[in-house]
């Protein structure tokens, strides 16, 4: 029996290679794309509250900058690994190219559980990390963003430290070093829920293609953090009924629908949606296999595998998380006629509004929320149709089509630049 491949780096290398072969590209294109252009590993010292000093490993993968500066999140998590960071930087290259924004892929992380640190320790750690990263990042080089266990406050500390280190102050020359900043410190309105909004926009477009509507559709959301929580709220606002949701501690179900904002408030106040009372307890495994119209996996990688893909009953899967479905599971879902909106399209709303923030920082001129959401809507709808038309033309699933669209765009620019 062949063991299913779960290493995210090997998965994305395989996906990129298949796209290069199907597009008939030269071997040199894959040779460049199969590894990051640069991988940075640093030891980050921080003085703890008790006066002791600890060091934490930090990484930054810069995959490809053919289309523009590297772009991608920074996560603080005890399970961060080099292969995970590299894979996520690959996916960012693809994601940026799918939505056609002028960025390349980057990703980074610190091997730490910030929940075990005080706020002051997290601040000192973040500033120390930026001191190590500063030679490798900048508005025109590499612009990190929030990710797992990082937020707008962490981005503010990083931006402030960079501006102090480089003498760029807080004017247009330095603020774009990171995105996802607080609104009053160079952030963009609409950024917080942008990933979720992109998910719902692309879900609506997919529903139109299969003759369904968001109105009255049943929804299950795995992961009730920023992406999953806002996706649930936006789905309910669009007329859907969110019947199930889960987090790392478990799940809840109510056939009459969950009040998504109330569940969000309970999660924020208590640390878990399982503390919401008016619902039945379920497991994450049960949620994934629930008989619903729309399933939104918005947690972590490798949640839908060959072991459970055959039990998926949802009509549409919209991937809020990065890499929630393995290639083997993809094949099973395709045979079952499950319509999948892949992560590199579905959750690209976040990087799209990060791009808007970067543009606004560079110009020193800021848009209102209506304009941000309208621009996001247009980019996500256009990207969906580019991918859908490619899938129909090449007779491949949406994930394969997204890779074809993205790899061709990157390859075309690499050729123009004389790289291949």
Residues labelled catalytic: 107
Interacting residues of 270 by C-beta distance below 8 A, sequence separation 6+: none
Instruction: Compute CA 355 distance to the chain's CA centroid, rounded to the nearest angstrom.
Output: 14
Q: Which of 238, 196, 157 is nearest to 353 (CA)?
A: 196
Give the Cβ contact number of residue 28 at 10 Å.
14
Interacting residues of 161 by C-beta distance below 8 A, sequence separation 6+: 126, 127, 130, 131, 134
Bridge-based pairing of strands 53-64 and 104-110 is: antiparallel
**Dihedrals phi, psi of 279, to nearest 5 degrees:** -165, 160
Number of residues that make up the chain: 420
DSSP letter at 310?
G
Interacting residues of 384 by C-beta distance below 8 A, sequence separation 6+: 201, 202, 205, 206, 341, 345
The H or E element containing residue 233 is helix 226-237
Per the rule left: phi > 0, alpha: psi between -120 and 50, beta: everything else, 371 is alpha
Interior angle at CA 79, CA 297 and CA 48, nearest 5: 125
Instruction: Compute CA 349 distance to the chain's CA centroid, rounded to the nearest angstrom.
Output: 8
In whole angstroms, give the CA distance from residue 49 to residue 17: 48
Burial 393-408 (b: 16+ CB within 10 A, else e): eeebbbbbbbbbbbbb
In whole angstroms, give the CA distance from residue 22 to residue 407: 11
């Amino acid at each position: 029996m062949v063991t299913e491949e779960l290493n995210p780096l090997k998965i994305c290398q395989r996906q990129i290679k298949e796209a290069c072969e199907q597009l008939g590209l030269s071997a040199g294109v894959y040779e460049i794309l199969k590894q990051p252009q640069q991988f940075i590993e640093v030891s980050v010292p921080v003085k703890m509250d008790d006066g002791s000093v600890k060091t934490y490993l930090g990484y930054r993968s810069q995959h490809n900058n053919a289309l523009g500066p590297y772009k991608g999140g920074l996560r603080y998590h005890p399970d961060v690994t080099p292969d995970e960071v590299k894979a996520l930087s690959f996916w960012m290259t693809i994601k940026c190219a799918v939505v056609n924004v002028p960025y390349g892929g980057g990703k980074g992380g610190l091997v730490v559980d910030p929940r075990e640190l005080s706020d002051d320790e997290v601040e000192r750690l973040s500033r120390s990390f930026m001191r190590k990263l500063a030679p490798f990042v900048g508005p025109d080089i590499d612009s990190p963003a929030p990710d797992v266990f990082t937020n707008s406050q962490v981005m503010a500390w990083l931006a402030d430290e960079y501006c102090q280190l480089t003498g760029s102050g807080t004017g247009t020359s330095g603020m774009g070093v990171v995105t996802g900043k607080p609104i009053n410190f160079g952030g963009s309105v609409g950024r917080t829920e942008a990933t979720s909004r992109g998910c719902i926009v692309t879900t609506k477009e997919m529903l139109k293609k299969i003759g369904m509507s968001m109105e009255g559709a049943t929804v299950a959301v795995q992961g009730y953090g920023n992406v999953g929580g806002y996706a649930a709220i936006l789905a309910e606002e669009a007329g859907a009924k969110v019947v199930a949701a889960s987090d790392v501690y478990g799940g809840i179900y109510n056939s009459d629908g969950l009040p998504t904002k109330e569940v969000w408030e309970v999660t924020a106040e208590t640390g878990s949606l399982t503390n919401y009372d008016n619902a039945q307890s379920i497991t994450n495994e049960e949620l994934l296999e629930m008989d619903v119209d729309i399933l939104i996996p918005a947690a972590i990688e490798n949640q839908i595998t060959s072991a459970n893909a055959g039990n998926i009953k949802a009509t549409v899967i919209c991937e809020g998380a990065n890499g929630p479905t393995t290639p083997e599971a993809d094949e099973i879902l395709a045979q079952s006629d499950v319509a999948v909106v892949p992560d590199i399209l579905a959750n690209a709303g976040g990087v799209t509004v990060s791009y808007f923030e970067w543009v606004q920082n560079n110009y020193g001129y800021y848009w209102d929320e209506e304009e941000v959401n309208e621009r996001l809507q247009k980019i996500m709808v256009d990207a969906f149709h580019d991918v859908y038309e490619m899938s129909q033309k090449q007779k491949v699933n949406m994930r394969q089509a997204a890779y074809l669209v993205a790899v061709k765009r990157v390859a075309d620019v690499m050729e123009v630049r004389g790289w291949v």
